Amino acid sequence: MAWDRRTWMTLAAAGGFISVAVGAFAAHGISDPQAKEWLKLGAQYGFMHTMATFACATFMNIGAVRARLAPKFFLSGVVFFSGSLYAMAFGAPRWFGAITPIGGLLFLAGWATLVWAAAGVDKPQA
């Protein structure tokens, strides 16, 4: 799969859909309090980082071309972070929780990439 803008925007849109669906299910379709919390947290972070992926397009449009690297981190983070929480909520073994921090590190890498990208915007001309 090519990591071009079309691909990551499509994946972000699908991630937004999944986040809303999971959040709604957590609010109305599940009774176990721990599972509900995992689903809500996964949906919250998933949605936040799909929106951050869309923001990368804006960053690129204003000259922060390095922002093209951040969606790889954000969307992979959603898979690891949110995916592991969703899996545990639906009965996966608790050791899946060991995967969750990998997603958190990927989120941090995405944000660090945006910091790096922003540093190159509107630099004063020498």
Our count of domains for the chain comes to 1
Residue 2: inside a domain: no
Residue 126: inside a domain: no
Residue 49: inside a domain: yes
Q: Can you give the pLDDT at residue 119?
A: 87
CB 75 within 8 A of CB 53: yes
Residue 125: inside a domain: no
Residue 19: inside a domain: yes
Q: Can you give the pLDDT at residue 123?
A: 72
**Does residue 126 have a pLDDT over 70?**
no
- Give residue 79's domain range: 8-118
Residue 106: inside a domain: yes
The tens digit of pLDDT for each residue in 39-70 reads 999 999 999 999 999 999 888 888 888 999 99
Q: Can you give the pLDDT at residue 104?
A: 97
Place of tokens 């609010």: 27
Residue 1: inside a domain: no
Give the whole-angstrom CA distance, residue 45 versus residue 50: 9
- Measured CA angle at 42 (ends 38, 46), to 5 deg: 175
Residue 26: inside a domain: yes
